[in-house]
Structure 1
Amino acid sequence: MVIGGLAALFCSEVKATPVHLPPPGPRDTCPVCGMFVAPYRFWVATIAYADGEAAHFDGAKDLFKYLTDMPRWAGGRKITDIAGIGVTSYYDTRLIDAKDAIYVMGSDVLGPMGHELVPHESQDDAEEFRRDHKGKRIVRSSDITPALLAALDDGRFE
């Protein structure tokens, strides 16, 4: 039992935490691109605000566009208004904490809006996906900038 406890203590594999946020309704649209979100349940990303409102996105890429330019997209809301942010994990299709997710860029898997940040709950999952789907780059939420998102839209993954 002690050995198992030590292994868990020194294990570098940290998984993104599942989050429980409201699902999109059939009429919810992405505030960035205007697409209906519910048909793309394997790509859904959600922001839940402290006041109970939510914003839904058709992928992590549009979620991060929103987060990196809230004055443009969020109608006066601020980062401090946010209670939770989730993205759909590629392999198990459950909502996980967006800040802890690991994203693969430049793969042969496209989202509803083309090249996408494909979320994974662990580094191991991201590495496996990158190998299996010809991914070019693995990033964390802290690496995601407007310039990276613009490059992704243009099919550049450097």
Structure 2
Amino acid sequence: MRLIAALLLSLFLLSGQPKAGEVVVAPPGPNGVCPVCGMFVAKYPEWAAAVVFKDGHTHYFDGAKDLFKFMRDVKSFDPGHSAADIAIVAVTDYYGVKTIDARDAFFVVGSDVLGPMGHELVPLATKQDAEEFMADHKGKRILSFDQVGAELLKSLDKGGVK
């Protein structure tokens, strides 16, 4: 009986552990708003993104697009922090609906899938998932974290991808 209980406890504990590429970020509270657009983030958990600073302070976003806008100008959105203070940058994987490290994610742009703020960068955990998503949803490009630039963000806000 003890062996069964120990095995069940082990399975329970292991199931709660993050898998490779996943990061642990507390979910946004019901009144948490995106610092970029003011939208309530908890309404859209499948699109949620976050920045966690070394001091534990966390900002939540309603999608990767606003996360990238924040990252381009941290000081204007949060004068008390800088980009150097960031410990974790997280997005929600579209297929797994799990929080993953944004710096390792692949982002599909130009697809027929819209986020809470319209045209969005769709985060995926693997290149294979991104290729599959792109084929299924008429995506235009797959980008890495470092390839997302200001012009692309402006283009997404205007309803498309250049």
TM-score (norm 2): 0.85
Residue 41 of structure 1 pairs with residue 12 of structure 2: no
| 1:76 equivalent among 74, 80, 83 | 80
Residue matched to 1:128: 132
Matched, 1:156 2:160: yes
The CA distance in 2 between the partners of 1:74 and 1:16, in whole Å, is 30
Report Cα offsets for 1:10-54 as digits up to 9, x if no partner: xxxxx9710001210000000000000001000000111111110
Question: Which structure's CA Rg is the greater one?
Answer: 2
Unmatched tracts of structure 2, length 5 or more = 1-18
Which SS does the other structure have where 1:99 is aligned? Answer: helix
* CA displacement 1:91-118 (0-9 Å, x = unmatched): 0100000000000001110000000000
Q: State the match for 2:12 in structure 1.
A: none
Q: Is the 8 A contact 1:43 1:59 kept in 2?
A: yes
Counterpart residue type for residue 34 of structure 1: G
Q: In angstroms, what is the RMSD of aligned CA positions?
A: 1.3
The answer to whether structure 1 residue 104 and structure 2 residue 86 are counterparts is no
Moved more, 42-51 or 70-79: 70-79
Aligned equivalent of 2:96: 92
Aligned residue pairs, count: 144
Instruction: Spell out structure 1 runs of 4+ moving beyond 4 A.
Output: none
Verify the 8 A CA contact 1:16 1:101 in the aligned structure 2. Answer: no
SS in 1 for 2:103: coil
Structure 1 gap ranges (5+):
1-14
The question of whether the paired residues in 1 share the 8 Å contact of 2:30 and 2:40 is answered with yes
What is the TM-score normalised by the length of structure 1? 0.87
Residue 66 of structure 1 corresponds to which residue in structure 2?
70
Q: 1:56/1:157 Cα in 2 relative to 1: closer, same or farther (>3 Å)? A: same
How far is the alpha carbon of 1:156 from its aligned partner?
Answer: 3.0
Equivalent residues of 1:45, 1:57 under 8 A apart: yes
1:6-17 to 2 correspondences below 5 Å: 17=21
Give the Cα separation in 2 of the matches to 1:20 and 1:59: 17
Task: Tell me which of the two structures has the higher relative contact order, counting C-alpha pairs closer than 8 angstroms and 6 or more residues apart.
Answer: 1
